[in-house]
Amino acid sequence: MRYKRLGKSSLEVSVVGLGTWAIGGDFWGKVDDDRSIATIQRAIDCGINLIDTAPAYGIGHAERIVGKAVKGRRDKVIIATKCGIFKGGGRMVRDSSPESIRKEVDASLTRLGIDVIDLYQIHWPDYDTPLEDSLNEMAKLRDAGKIRYFGVSNFDKELMEKAVSIGGVVSLQPQYSLLQRGIEKDLLPFCRENGIGILAYGSLGGGILTGKFKERPKFEEGDNRENFYPFFREPLWSKAMELVEVLRQIAAEVDKPVAHVAINWLTQQDGVSTALVGAKTPEQAEQNAAAGEWELSQEQLDAIESAYKRIYG
Ligand SMILES: NC(=O)c1ccc[n+]([C@@H]2O[C@H](COP(=O)([O-])OP(=O)(O)OC[C@H]3O[C@@H](n4cnc5c(N)ncnc54)[C@H](OP(=O)(O)O)[C@@H]3O)[C@@H](O)[C@H]2O)c1
Ligand 1 mean position to 276 CA, how many Å? Answer: 8
Does residue 90 carry a pLDDT above 90?
A: no
Question: Rounded mean pLDDT of the chain?
Answer: 97
pLDDT, tens digit, for every residue of 230-241? Answer: 999 999 999 999
Domain positions in the chain: 3-229+263-293
What per-residue confidence (pLDDT) applies to 268? 98
**C-beta pairs of 95-100 under 8 Å, 24+ apart in sequence:** 95/126, 95/128, 95/129, 96/122, 96/125, 96/126, 96/129, 96/134, 97/126, 97/129, 97/133, 97/134, 98/133, 98/134, 98/136, 98/137
Contact 18, 51 (CB under 8 A): yes
What per-residue confidence (pLDDT) applies to 87? 84
- Tell which phi-psi region holds residue 113, choosing left (phi > 0), alpha (psi between -120 and 50) or beta: left
d(CA 229, CA 222): 15
Catalytic residue among 3, 57, 229, 312, which?
Answer: 57
The closest-lying atom of ligand 1 relative to the alpha carbon of residue 257 is: 31
What per-residue confidence (pLDDT) applies to 36? 98
> Residue 42 in 3-state DSSP?
helix
Confidence of residue 134 (pLDDT cuts 50, 70, 90): very high
Contact 16, 288 (CB under 8 A): yes
Ligand 1 mean position to 201 CA, how many Å? Answer: 8
Displacement of CA 96 from its chain's centroid (Å): 20
The best mutation among 77, 92, 96, 276 to test binding of ligand 1, ranked by most ligand atoms within 8 Å of the C-beta, falls on 276
d(CA 175, CA 153): 9
What per-residue confidence (pLDDT) applies to 88? 81
Is 308 a residue of the active site?
no
pLDDT, tens digit, for every residue of 17-53? Answer: 999 999 999 999 999 999 999 999 999 999 999 999 9
Q: Which fold has domain 3-229+263-293?
A: TIM Barrel (3.20.20)
The closest-lying atom of ligand 1 relative to the alpha carbon of residue 223 is: 40
Contact 271, 198 (CB under 8 A): yes
- Side chain identity at 70, as an amino acid letter? V
Beta-strand pair 91-94/85-88: antiparallel
